[in-house]
Structure 1
């Protein structure tokens, strides 16, 4: 029964972010087929943050009417919506419309917004639902949430990316990217070799994953083994209550114990506990935890993803593909490490956050230098970019998991605020980056065949 519950919790966690994570790892094959091109990641980040209307509604309901809201009908609704949106995306992602005199991928952007509503709302509904189960299943859920990035990444690696060939615009020449030269017409065009299977198949796979998530959630609610487990949990709670009552009665019947005088010095050194959760942490520590969570969420969910194409594509389409997929693999690896090394030291958390921010600074620097970043014509440059992306996601994902475990111990409301702060930090990061990337165009895109950088 315990193994079954762990499996279902993991599959349920996979559905939390599998749709949007799948969209990110598929970007290397999408950006060359749609009008938005390199700006697509920036569009996606702002769309994802606009979808925070869902978490905002749930959070307000938890604040003002905590006993009215039942997250289970909401979870059913958003999972079914995710299934339908990914299915439609498989057939409509290439369709474009002219809006404001320019061609845009309206179907892709609209369906991505629906998927963003699904995944963002899962942050404030899936975690509170897990409070209905025993505490050990929360870590399994986080592992499944990490797998929501790993599984699409592995499928994307199998899918592969096409090798770029530079062809003369008149069709008279065909050169590889590394040896590209000017053709007789003076202009070369990039042609990408098809992947092992289409983007349509990939989106259908995401729809299947959302169906699996729905099945897991149905079993967590209605399988006889789950009902029996909840009954056992209540019985244990009643038994513990009886034991506590008996202890209290025995204490009252005995002579009162003489308490030693408190040391005024030691008592004064203790920091006052906050009213947050169970009062384990002081107010300053609670503020620090949520500031770190907001900062990490802004970097991992909005700031760096907005410039991912600018930091990777100058090194080639394969470097971009590897960076997106291997970074997605790093997320569940961090969750796996956190299962066995759950370090809760706030100092260690701060050190890891600073380290991950350093990796992010390198990535941002390469994006700023686009289309001619450091070592652009060397394999070392591509390797450093991929490694920095992996380490960036690995360190900061570990920080997020540890914060989730800490807040889990503080109670259900703490997990609701955890999801709200994650979305708030992501929204602020997206609002900062979107005008920089898409309005003021501070980051410059390149052409794999015609951009010339000094060696």
Structure 2
């Protein structure tokens, strides 16, 4: 019956970020129908970072009032809130209200804030809950977290979001004197196969599935048999010496040396700081820094390259989690090397975004293939690092996973604060014209 527990853990993890991930992939269909236009992504970025008040409150409660917070009730509350907010979006996402003399998508922005609170708070509540199950189920949870990005992307591909066709159009060179006309290509977005309303109903259904999975994780008798035994009560298997009878006390091996007061003390403070820095850096790159420039790095190579990069990147996340189930590398130097490799690939992606609309090999098929491969390797390597750090902190106990979630949100926040002014305020990146860009 552990297969059932694995499935439930995966579905539970799916509810962590599926709402916000789904909202982002739906933006090409939402933006033309709201008064904010393409300023909407900037507003959403600010709202998502404001929603970090949720994980901040939970972390402070764990720090100053340990044991006072009913985590199960909080998880139930945020899953219900996420289901309701996604459902209401289907009815109110395109409704506008006049504020300060201008129409504003108040309902969309408010409901997005609630969804952001749900997803941000999941980082510091879902992970600690997983300590109630045996350690190998945490990897399955991370697979579900990866699916929360993959599933909306696949549904958006079926929906036909952002598919562009270049058509011939005639442009008048001199309107006043009736001058000659010139032919040029014009980007035309193709109509979607179904509306955003249906997509938001789908997101609501997925949140409901996650809620039901959490309910079964708490109450299904088969899952109860998967609770950690006494050998896992501290998050680390006890040594054989701890299982000896009292009469063998004089011959029991001495307890392992504690290197710090963090978790079980298995890591020194220097190593703990290294782990937290790696975790914050990896999440900053994968959650905010590189996703904010994905369109700039891919669109010069064509819309097919963009959609293929997004799809394979979404597949790479759960694939890395699945790989971690069979290949477990917890060496900090090795994880550091993987982080360096992924960051180097990320630097190439960032350079392509900076050079947009004329990145390297823009007119060559090899350029498009290299960009798709870069996004795949980038997400695969850094997602593996995230999973392994999560497993390391799982062994350090419940409070370590709370701090894990807090560091994840902190890294994402720092990445967003860095990229928001560059992308949305100063306009440092340029996308160019999809159909008419000419590069030397």
Matching residue of 2:260 = 274
Distance 1:246 1:392, change over 3 A: closer
Distance 1:201 1:378, change over 3 A: farther
Distance 1:395 1:84 in 2: 35
**Does the residue aligned with 1:16 lie in a helix, a strand or coil?**
coil
Does structure 1 conserve the Cα–Cα contact (< 8 Å) formed by 2:296 and 2:430?
yes
Distance 1:228 1:34, change over 3 A: same
Matching residue of 1:177 = none
Query: 1:320-340: CA deviations, max 9, x gaps?
Result: 222222211110011011111
Q: CA RMSD in A?
A: 3.2
User: What are structure 1's unaligned runs of at least 5 residues?
Assistant: 172-182, 260-269
Aligned match for 2:197, one of 200, 203, 218: 200
Matching residue of 1:405 = 391
1:216 aligns with 2:213: yes
Query: 1:294-338: CA deviations, max 9, x gaps?
Result: 111111111111212222223333322222222111100110111
Distance 1:394 1:108, change over 3 A: farther
Distance 1:247 1:352, change over 3 A: same
Does structure 1 conserve the Cα–Cα contact (< 8 Å) formed by 2:166 and 2:185?
no
Matching residue of 1:262 = none
Q: State the aligned residue count.
A: 426
Matching residue of 1:263 = none
Matching residue of 1:136 = 136
The normalised TM-score by structure 1 is 0.84
Residues 2-81 of structure 1: matches in 2 within 5 Å? 2-30=2-30, 40-81=40-81
Distance 1:271 1:364, change over 3 A: farther
Matching residue of 2:439 = 454
Task: Give the Å deviation of 1:101.
Answer: 7.2
Distance 1:432 1:229, change over 3 A: closer
Aligned match for 1:285, one of 253, 271, 286: 271
Matching residue of 1:191 = 188
Distance 1:315 1:37, change over 3 A: farther
**Does the residue aligned with 1:276 lie in a helix, a strand or coil?**
coil
Matching residue of 2:175 = none
Distance 2:302 2:92 in 1: 27
Does structure 1 conserve the Cα–Cα contact (< 8 Å) formed by 2:10 and 2:144?
yes
Task: Give the Å deviation of 1:158.
Answer: 2.6
Query: 1:332-359: CA deviations, max 9, x gaps?
Result: 0110111111111111111111111111
Matching residue of 2:245 = 247
Aligned match for 1:370, one of 328, 348, 356: 356
Distance 1:410 1:229, change over 3 A: closer
1:437 aligns with 2:423: yes
**Does the residue aligned with 2:438 lie in a helix, a strand or coil?**
coil
Does structure 2 conserve the Cα–Cα contact (< 8 Å) formed by 1:274 and 1:281?
yes
User: What are structure 2's unaligned runs of at least 5 residues?
Assistant: 173-179
Distance 1:327 1:25, change over 3 A: farther
Does structure 2 conserve the Cα–Cα contact (< 8 Å) formed by 1:167 and 1:188?
yes
The normalised TM-score by structure 2 is 0.87
Matching residue of 2:89 = 89
Task: Give the Å deviation of 1:126.
Answer: 0.6
Distance 1:284 1:431 in 2: 27
